[in-house]
Amino acid sequence: MSRFTLKPNAIILAPLAGVSDHPFRRLCAEQGADLTYVEMLSARALIYNSQRTLQMAKRHSSEEVLGVQVTGGSSDDTAKAVAILDKMNFDTIDINMGCPVQKVVKSGSGSAILKDPSRVYETVKRCREETDKALSAKIRIGWDHQTVNALEVVEAIEKGGADWLTVHGRTRSDDYSVPVDLTMMTQIKHAVSIPVIGNGNIFQSQDTQSMLDKTNVDGVMVSRGALGNPWVFRELKNVSTRVSADEWASVVNRHIDWQAEEYGPTGRGAVCMRKHLLWYLKGWHGAKKWKDIFGKIEDLSDAKALVLTCSEDFKANNYNERSPVEAQASFNWDPKWQMDRQQDRGVGHELLQ
């Protein structure tokens, strides 16, 4: 079988910790994502055959193309993990060198790797030796603004044998309020001959077009822009920006069905669905009163009926379509920030401690 290659101007769903399970990935692919990823896995957890991690790596039979991302505290661990992933049902493998959360970097994983370009090269080279599958790396532009070394890092990635790389245009020390550095992204694109995917603040088609025009990158990766908004992928492909209340309810309830099938309607299935339900409310006027209700869901069977009632409530108040992204600033809450930085959320496995 030939090695997977990226489509021109690919639109990719990022491997989002605590989010990118197959019910969510399937919705994003349905709406036009060219590639989706399993959430970031711990190399050590794979080496130790963690059943929780193997469950996270589960691929649904309907997924036509799927990538997986791994991070490790050493080039040796990462290469061993890639050797394991090579035997699994994935089309492409990504090495995470950009995750900023403390419990990841303190193990020498994620963006901690950026501190040592020689380790970047050794990691990619060792991983390349362990797989014939498409191999990539995801980075930030540096650890902080005093140590921006992205050009050296991406040259090491290319030399190590990666097929492409993804650049989040911020440093590890930056929060989401810091603008994405499109100038550095442009320099990175000029520095290597392999494809470069841009990442950071992709929420609507204007964001994608601006990044493509200013940097000449080969595609974009969507992270927070997909939370509660799998429709973003069709918008980025200029298919449609409209989401009616009826379509909203249909898609959300399909997500609930797939969630219940995978995890059960109560317990973990319901608890993990709550954050998605809160994200799905973003962009709807009149959603405030539903936040507490959706945040306390105990049974996904009840959730489906509540979603239908919620959509009818929107329509009864003449909110027939979700507000466009540019008008959503007034909603102003970001559960992903709380999950990641405030709760120190990363790979989420004790073997990273």
CATH number for the domain spanning 53: value is 3.20.20.70
The catalytically annotated residue of 99, 127, 272, 310 is 99
pLDDT in tens, 58-76: 999 999 999 999 999 999 9
Radius of gyration, CA atoms only, the chain: 20
Parent domain of 301:
245-323
Q: Write phi, then psi, for 338 (nearest 5 degrees).
A: -65, -40
b vs e for 245-280, b when ≥16 Cβ sit within 10 Å of the residue's Cβ? beebbebbbbbbebbbebbebeeebbebbbbbbbbb
- 328 within some domain: no
For residue 13, list its beta bridge partners.
222
Q: Report the pLDDT value the prediction gives residue 334, as an integer from 0 to 100.
A: 53
One domain for residues 208 and 302: no
Q: Report the pLDDT value the prediction gives residue 336, as an integer from 0 to 100.
A: 53
> Among residues 184, 211, 188, which one has the least CA distance to residue 200?
211
> Among residues 171, 176, 155, 295, which one has the least CA distance to residue 225?
176
Pairing assessment for the beta strands 92-97 and 67-71 based on DSSP bridges: parallel
- 250 within some domain: yes
Q: What is the pLDDT along the chain (353 residues), one digit of tens a residue?
A: 689 999 999 999 999 988 999 999 999 999 999 999 999 999 999 999 999 999 999 999 999 999 999 999 999 999 999 999 999 999 999 999 999 988 899 999 999 999 999 999 999 999 999 999 999 999 999 999 999 999 999 999 999 999 999 999 999 998 888 999 999 999 999 999 999 999 999 999 999 999 999 999 999 999 999 999 999 999 999 888 899 999 999 999 999 999 999 999 999 999 999 999 999 999 898 898 999 899 899 999 999 999 999 999 999 999 999 987 654 544 444 555 444 444 434 433 333 33
Q: For residues 272 and 168, give the distance between their C-alpha atoms in angstroms, rounded to a whole number.
A: 26
- 348 within some domain: no
One domain for residues 145 and 258: no
One domain for residues 236 and 249: no
One domain for residues 170 and 88: yes
Three-state SS at 344: coil
One domain for residues 154 and 256: no
pLDDT in tens, 323-332: 876 545 444 4
Token pair, residue 273, equals: 């669905």
Q: For residues 5 and 34, give the distance between their C-alpha atoms in angstroms, rounded to a whole number.
A: 11
Q: Is 99 a catalytic residue?
A: yes
Three-state SS at 197: strand
Sign of CA dihedral 202, 205, 210, 211: positive
- 2 within some domain: no
Question: What separation, in Å, do the N-terminal and C-terminal C-alpha atoms of the chain show?
Answer: 38
As for how many domains the chain has, the answer is 2
Q: Report the pLDDT value the prediction gives residue 31, as an integer from 0 to 100.
A: 96
One domain for residues 112 and 85: yes
Q: For residues 291 and 295, give the distance between their C-alpha atoms in angstroms, rounded to a whole number.
A: 6
